[in-house]
Amino acid sequence: MSREDPTIGVLALQGDVREHLAALEAGGARAVTVRRRCELEAVDGLVLPGGESTTIDRLLRVFELREALRERIGEGLPVYGSCAGMILLADRVLDGAPGQQTLGGLDVTVRRNAFGRQVDSWEEDLPLEAVTGGGPPVLGVFIRAPWVEEAGAGVQVLARLGAGPAAGRIVAVRQGDLVATSFHPEITGDDRVHRYFVDVVRDRVARTAG
20 is catalytic: no
Three-class DSSP category at 206: helix
| Active-site residue identified among 19, 20, 124, 186 | 186
Q: What residues are paired with 45 via a beta bridge? A: 8
Long-range CB contact pairs, 92-98, < 8 A, 24+:
92/150, 94/149, 96/53, 96/54, 97/54
Q: What residues are paired with 48 via a beta bridge? A: 81
Which helix (H) or strand (E) covers residue 147, if one does? Answer: strand 147-151
| Active-site residue identified among 83, 124, 150, 194 | 83
83 is catalytic: yes
Cβ neighbors of 192 (< 8 A, separation 6 or more) are 128, 131, 132, 135, 138, 185
Cβ neighbors of 163 (< 8 A, separation 6 or more) are 124
38 is catalytic: no
| Active-site residue identified among 19, 20, 124, 184 | 184
- Rounded-to-integer distance, Cα 80 and Cα 10, Å: 9
Give catalytic residue positions.
83, 184, 186
